[in-house]
A and B are shown apart, each in its own frame.
Chain A
């Protein structure tokens, strides 16, 4: 059994009468690619938002590397290695790709407060930024403005920004949405490589079932803020409860 990276205890969150997390208890193991699935409104995005600090939970605890992070601000979670990407491309539109990646690199190397040295002349930063750009296949466009990229490339960059913060745990919110097959292959390959290398543990929210079942070693199924299925892809596929509320809809299509 792999060591536990992230642990969630009795997590609750409701918006008015809509419950998006009800007594959630689970843990994520390091090195295991986990997918979080569920029908629309199941509370997947809210769960990521709570875990990464965008939304505060009503009650419950979140432990990361055994440390309670429930009340920690976003930026500190990121520096401790808990990172995320966004569903819609959420990049720095007017800045170049180099600058887009440099921002998280500066943050984790603790160079962001230096205000008299030149960014581009810092060799370590440049090497790091270029290696990330190379990994996502956008090195050649290093000086292009992020806003000028195609939608798919912006999504790649989005993941690149998240990776550049050197996370040990990375939440990806629908990483392949809006990508063409080439980009999709590239991103999936990246996820596998990084996961196999033991650098990053991924947790993915995804609608594309092909991606979910080909990539993940564990699947968590959410429905109305509750976990109704948890196990290997095969176990989840076989669960009657899951089939009823979720896969049933897929099959019926």
Chain B
């Protein structure tokens, strides 16, 4: 029954997204792509935060590594989209292994501090290593090649074409992360969040699982970074900045931490809110902070959490 409902919801969302791709204006297309990319970023992030209970403040680093990896691969090697995206995600995964190795030795406060510090290390590397990363100008003018598959090639130059590529990646990510949540690995991560000592005493090396969660999470951030780069065609070091790391945190919190759909709902809200607020003021980050503050002080279940509470109350009524 419950699973049935999930399938219907998923098919409905897919239909709406395909509909947007076929019939919408360029602006709506662009916003929807940003929603999907942010969703991948936030869902991946939530594997670490909502599932494993580790609050990272440096996740933008992996987004940025994904973006830079893709850009560099596209500039110096080849522009095949699948190759450059693979390069971006792989680079992010590699960084996540290295940084994660240090960070997962600690939890909670130390973990948050370390991820922030290492995230800013990545930021400073991108800022300083001018010859490779272009310094504060970043890398720009990255073109999208066609996806050639031997016999034929799928062009993704136009936004209306690229949209379906992003949609494909989004769908695959949702499916993958959903499978991870249902899997033994996903259960172990939840166990670590609930009680890491007991998990250790169940015969599981908690650090290794934390590291695995960190890397999986970082890889999705890298994928999001790759897609984001191909959408905007440029990237600056600020992609790795800690204020960007705050985005998936806010998105997850807005949508609801301990729910699967939370980050997706949160992404929609985030992009729409940002678009609206930026029309009236230049100080979007101030509002960002205020929304975060309001959620922490009063609405910790997020939108999905609040809705499900409402629904439950409604259905329990005679």
Direct contact of A and B (CB under 8 A): yes
- With both beta carbons as reference points, the residue of chain A lying nearest to B186 in the complex is identified as A115
- With both beta carbons as reference points, the residue of chain B lying nearest to A125 in the complex is identified as B184
Q: Say if the beta carbon of A127 comes within 8 Å of chain B.
A: no
B184's partner among A78, A114, A165 (CB-CB below 8 A) is A114
Q: Say if the beta carbon of B203 comes within 8 Å of chain A.
A: yes
Contacts of A93 in B (CB 8 A): 194-195
- Chain A interface size, under 10 / 10 to 19 / 20 to 34 / 35 or more: 35 or more
CB distance A52 to B201 under 8 Å?
yes
- The majority secondary structure among interface residues of chain B is helix
CB distance B202 to A90 under 8 Å?
no
**Binary B-proximity of A73-100 (CB < 8 A = 1, otherwise 0):** 1111011000110100011111100010
| Closest chain A CB from B211 CB (angstroms) | 12
Contacts of B185 in A (CB 8 A): 112-115
| Closest chain A CB from B51 CB (angstroms) | 12
Which listed segment binds A: B175-183, B268-276, B286-294? Answer: B175-183
CB distance B183 to A84 under 8 Å?
no
| Closest chain B CB from A73 CB (angstroms) | 7
**Binary A-proximity of B84-113 (CB < 8 A = 1, otherwise 0):** 000000000000000000000000000000
B201's partner among A84, A95, A112, A119 (CB-CB below 8 A) is A84
CB distance A92 to B201 under 8 Å?
no
Q: Say if the beta carbon of A194 comes within 8 Å of chain B.
A: no
Known contacts A83-B201, A164-B202, then 14 further A-B pairs from the complex at CB < 8 Å, ordered by chain A residue: A74-B201, A75-B200, A75-B201, A75-B205, A103-B188, A106-B184, A111-B184, A112-B204, A115-B183, A115-B184, A116-B179, A118-B179, A119-B183, A122-B184
* 28 residue pairs from A and B, CB less than 8 Å apart: A75-B201, A75-B204, A76-B205, A83-B201, A90-B195, A90-B197, A92-B190, A92-B194, A99-B187, A102-B187, A103-B187, A103-B191, A106-B184, A106-B187, A107-B188, A112-B185, A112-B188, A114-B183, A115-B180, A115-B184, A116-B180, A118-B183, A119-B182, A119-B183, A119-B184, A119-B186, A161-B202, A165-B201
The 10 closest A-B pairs by CB, nearest first: A78-B203, A115-B185, A107-B203, A104-B202, A92-B194, A75-B205, A79-B203, A106-B184, A74-B200, A103-B191
